[in-house]
Amino acid sequence: MGPFTAEKITDKVYWVGAVDWGVRDFHGYLTSRGSTYNAFLIIDEKVTLVDTVKKPFMKEMLARIASVIPPERIDFIISNHSEMDHTGCLPEIIDLVKPEKVYASSMGRKAIGRHFYFDDDVITAVKNGETISLGESSVTFVETRMLHWPDSMVSYLDTEKIMFSQDGFGMHLASTERYDDQLPSQVLLEEAEKYFANILLPFSPMVTGLMKKLAQLDLDIQLLCPDHGPIWRSDIGGILQRWENWALQKYSLKAVVVYDTMWKSTGYLADAICDGLNSQGISVKVMPLDSSHRSDVATAVLDSGALIVGSPTINGQMFPRVADVLTYLKGLKPKNLIGGVFGSYGWSGEAVKHVEQYLDDMKIPLAAPTLNVNYVPDDDDLAKARELGATVGRELKEKCS
């Protein structure tokens, strides 16, 4: 089956997932550091597999399982989340293993059924709060609907004090290291923040609710095992706190200036706007779209208080990459931002109106009048651009005070 072995993480539990070193596009999200698909094997009277992996990685998972126990010995499979990166090989695994039970939430049962056209009796639905015995240990299920799919749930293994949190608290990061304390903290922060910004942001109010629910449950969690990236064992409190903070999306003294440009006119304006923001003490990230990926823009927006968008006009429209990033950001529903719009044009200047409409749809109020410059900005135009930035900066300081 290949040169893959399981990694023991507690007396009863093994990591049997897969490492995807090469993935760079996760439905539009740039996964610069690859990813992992984590699956876990619990050895008890009922041998249990928690989640599976993306279909091309099935043999890797099976080899890791086989290094501990013949896969046919698996009694239960728990599917915490039905997205295909965790269920893609589920039909083949069920055929091979013939488990006694496959557990999922009630929504998971429906979703998995729709993906694979299973008969009704293949998946057993578990209720929120339900506990199943594996022998010495037992697993309790907690539904986390819409975090980030309708079927999502987490599973708590009592004897090992492990929370299997599916996508929750995860990140896209391929590594040979399995634990948070084996990896640079700055890398963990960058990737966890990117994951939250690109996957969880639209569901922030529900994240806030989940954090309250977890606090009320007061579970003793010694290992927090997401389905992507490292296992949290040293900084569990830190990642929980970061999620709580990110979900609030508070105003901050940071701004993102995102733009595209044809002959650099819009780019000159972006630089002047940056200077104006910076004159007010605002930390600015300028993101030209020929070299900035939409998912990095989303990450920058997560902890910013202002979003200023620039586009030239092309054929009466905004630039395609500006439309791309705005469509993406609109879906992520960022909150607590003030905005600004700028652009340049030759013989017509419709792009800024289209950009304004996007910001309005996103409920991002304009903190300064829009600047739209014909052809190439002169010194007067650049002064206006600088003032646009300074005006947004002053408003942002008010919001943060």
Chain residues binding ligand FEO by CB under 6 A are 81, 83, 85-86, 148-149, 167, 227-228
Give min distance, CB of 88 to ligand FEO, in A.
10
Give min distance, CB of 141 to ligand FEO, in A.
17
228 among known catalytic residues:
yes
Nearer to ligand FEO, 53 or 188 (CB): 53
Give min distance, CB of 104 to ligand FEO, in A.
14
290 among known catalytic residues:
no
27 among known catalytic residues:
yes
Starting at the edge strand found earlier in the chain, the sheet holding 223-225 runs 131-133, 138-143, 153-157, 162-164, 223-225
User: Quick one: residue 117, left, alpha or beta (phi over 0 = left, psi -120 to 50 = alpha)?
Assistant: left
How are beta strands 48-50 and 76-78 bridged, if at all?
Answer: parallel
180 among known catalytic residues:
no
**Active-site option among 20, 44, 148, 296:** 148
**Active-site option among 151, 167, 227, 260:** 167
Handedness of CA 65, 31, 317, 308 (dihedral sign): positive
Helix ranges, 181-248 (H):
185-195, 204-217, 236-248
- Report whether 142 contacts 213 (CB < 8 A): yes
Nearest to 19 by CA among 298, 169, 228, 292: 228
Give min distance, CB of 11 to ligand FEO, in A.
27
Nearer to ligand FEO, 148 or 384 (CB): 148
115 among known catalytic residues:
no
Nearer to ligand FEO, 147 or 282 (CB): 147
Packing angle of the helix pair 106-116, 90-97 (nearest 10 deg): 100
Strands of 7-51, DSSP E = 7-8, 13-15, 18-20, 25-26, 29-30, 35-37, 40-42, 48-50
85 among known catalytic residues:
yes
Nearer to ligand FEO, 82 or 137 (CB): 82
Q: Residue 385 and residue 375: Cα distance in Å, rounded? A: 15
Q: Phi/psi of residue 23, each to 5°?
A: -65, 130
**Active-site option among 20, 51, 75, 85:** 85
Give min distance, CB of 179 to ligand FEO, in A.
19
Q: Which residues are catalytic?
A: 27, 81, 83, 85, 148, 167, 195, 228
